[in-house]
Structure 1
């Protein structure tokens, strides 16, 4: 019988501890399970962007209320934060000369009287032209008399046109000076007032107040990096988190997110914005719920995740480690 070397006898007598064996089995199982998870668990790629709530309608943005005429602030009818209706008086402006309107009215009356007189004289001159032409046909008036009558008629026509022009200018001036009540263009709220008290002089076009309309058509303007913008398409779904609303967003599993709101891509800017990114406008779908508009104020910050393609978890980890862009969609139209 062959003798066994003492080294192998010692190795044969070594027994692996049971806890270590269990640990090895668990590690092997964990490796297999991790590989299966990385291969088969789906992950929704997203393009993350920061943005703000904006008003989409031109008449729904923040507006500046200007002075229509020069003068002095006579009375304020509002203050910061006041709610106004369309047509409500915001401020009254008076001219530095308290008799300026009276003098304008008197000037207009004078021009009107001159126009009426020129009109009567023009009609008389036209009648004289007809009379001189009739007398000329009968041989009772010279040709020179007819021509003088026509010249006089043309002269009065010019004076009548000049008088009408002066009346029109006076009416425009008077109309502009009577528009000294600054009114609200639509329902909204006064954000700030920029002029002072009754001693403040304003010029035509000076900003008096900052105004924000109500019933805004709001949307979300997200800034998306240039590496992701080729992957964004019109109609893509978006998950949104508004500042002030508690939420938990799982980027790869949007269905498990809590406290986020749905949106859809409606506009993609073709040119880069001053921030160095591309602006993407997100609108509210009809079947989604957003907080009330009175709580979603214009300018509130928003985080958005545009939902892209679905890939495996392992591919997404590999992509993130290598800094590659998300998966490009295979079947899509060029929007």
Structure 2
């Protein structure tokens, strides 16, 4: 009975006989309720002043810290036909192990003796180069011999010119002497003629003088002829000297032309040798590429082209290899509005898919099953999904990440920010304000010179 009516029945009821009613009426429930309300109010006020860690929740996947440690596809460099497989999915391969054997599919490489024939062509071209070199050497010797022979002939012709000039001088002197002698003989004949007219000399003496003057005039003419002949010999000697020099120049020009022709042939042959050597190296390298090898040690995870006899194109993906050793990291994506709050070195709490965890987002130290990390990279360009990618590496000062963790596993991350009272966080959430801008001790102060973050080995 609530006993709220004005018509009370208490005076008509015998309480001594009703013990249960007596016990209920004697309870002080109102006081207890008041005390409970007071206690929980005080507790709620105290809780409002407890610290709360602001955070940014982001999802991502497990990846590797170094790009060369991520799963990679092995591609064929040349096209070919699958002849034999040497591995299977899940197999472990060392760097350089043979994965696949290809056979040729292009008709220009079908010749089984292609390398030998190409090497023979190279040797033949090299012999041609040596032949041209010998010809060039012979022409050099020929030109040297022509220069020496021309020098000797030129000296001989010059000497001949000098001799002719000297002979002209000698004939000139002889002609002058003959003229003087002729003049004397003529004077003597005139005096003899005067004496003959005076009767002092006989006709015989006069005729003798006439014969001598004729003889002297004949010698004069002969001396003049010799001088003309000597002068002609000088001209002939000079013409011969010019002819020798012209012939020497002509012979040297011809030999030089032959030499340049030989050099041109030599250069062409050397270019042919280089081209054939390049072709031989390409053939040899192509032969090596028939065997596809592992670029690094790791495990075969997926074979993309498995059929024997299947034709592959150049650059086609054949197999996927996961490296043996790798450093794990987590790539997460945050909204553009949260990007200003992210700094290098920011602490991150990570929960991996498949690992049980109890997470108290506001009190990360009380969480169970989470692992710590540090922000090591922040993309400067937004992704196609409209979010920014962040790389998180393990914190070397905290426990190691799980050993069975694999690349591609999902991860939920909490990027830990500033510690604030709970009442402030509630007030911020109600008003829709963003988290406080917070820079950790290890955060970068200079984008161009970020601090070095110690990464796990």
Give the 3-state SS of the residue equivalent to 1:297 in structure 2: coil
Determine whether 1:290 maps to 2:400: yes
Determine whether 1:22 maps to 2:32: yes
Determine whether 1:184 maps to 2:194: no
Give the corresponding residue for 1:9. Answer: none
Which string of whole-angstrom CA distances, capped at 9 and with x for unpartnered residues, describes residues 64-90 of structure 1? 111122221110011122111111110
Number of equivalenced pairs: 320
315, 318, 328: which one pairs with 2:427?
A: 318
Say if 1:268 and 1:281, in contact at 8 Å, map to a contact too.
yes
Give me the TM-score of the superposition, normalised by structure 1: 0.88
1:263 shift after superposition: 0.9
Change in 2 beyond 3 A, CA 1:222/1:33: same
1:282 shift after superposition: 0.9
Counterpart Cα distance in 2 of 1:218 and 1:167: 46
1:33 shift after superposition: 2.8
RMSD of Structure 2 on Structure 1 (CA): 2.5
Determine whether 1:261 maps to 2:271: no
Say if 1:74 and 1:93, in contact at 8 Å, map to a contact too.
yes
Give the corresponding residue for 1:201. Answer: 311
94, 97, 105: which one pairs with 1:85?
A: 94
Higher strand share: 1
Determine whether 1:51 maps to 2:60: yes
Say if 1:53 and 1:299, in contact at 8 Å, map to a contact too.
yes
Q: Which runs of 5+ in 1 are unaligned?
A: 1-14
Determine whether 1:120 maps to 2:230: no
Determine whether 1:305 maps to 2:414: yes
Give the corresponding residue for 2:148. Answer: 138
Change in 2 beyond 3 A, CA 1:327/1:204: same
1:330 shift after superposition: 7.9
Say if 1:114 and 1:163, in contact at 8 Å, map to a contact too.
no
Give the corresponding residue for 1:63. Answer: 72
Give the corresponding residue for 2:346. Answer: 236
1:111 shift after superposition: 1.5
Give me the TM-score of the superposition, normalised by structure 2: 0.65
Deviates more, 1:137-146 or 1:43-52: 137-146
Deviates more, 1:126-135 or 1:84-93: 126-135
Counterpart Cα distance in 2 of 1:66 and 1:330: 45
Give the corresponding residue for 2:225. Answer: none
Give the corresponding residue for 2:218. Answer: none
Counterpart Cα distance in 1 of 2:439 and 2:343: 13
Which string of whole-angstrom CA distances, capped at 9 and with x for unpartnered residues, describes residues 157-190 of structure 1? 1332232112321331232133211110111111
Change in 2 beyond 3 A, CA 1:120/1:328: closer
1:63 shift after superposition: 1.2
330, 334, 345: which one pairs with 1:224?
A: 334
Counterpart Cα distance in 2 of 1:181 and 1:251: 54
Counterpart Cα distance in 2 of 1:292 and 1:126: 76
Q: Which runs of 5+ in 2 are unaligned?
A: 1-24, 151-247, 448-457
Counterpart Cα distance in 2 of 1:155 and 1:278: 63
1:219 shift after superposition: 0.8
Say if 1:125 and 1:152, in contact at 8 Å, map to a contact too.
no
For the pair shown, the structure with the greater C-alpha radius of gyration is 2
Determine whether 1:107 maps to 2:216: no
1:292 shift after superposition: 4.4
1:114 shift after superposition: 1.9
Counterpart Cα distance in 1 of 2:446 and 2:116: 68
Counterpart Cα distance in 2 of 1:151 and 1:296: 73
Counterpart Cα distance in 2 of 1:334 and 1:327: 20
Higher helix share: 2
Which string of whole-angstrom CA distances, capped at 9 and with x for unpartnered residues, describes residues 264-310 of structure 1? 111122222222222111111222223344x1111100111111111
1:19 shift after superposition: 1.1
1:259 shift after superposition: 0.9
Say if 1:68 and 1:180, in contact at 8 Å, map to a contact too.
no
210, 227, 238: which one pairs with 2:320?
A: 210
Deviates more, 1:232-241 or 1:45-54: 232-241
Say if 2:343 and 2:439, in contact at 8 Å, map to a contact too.
no
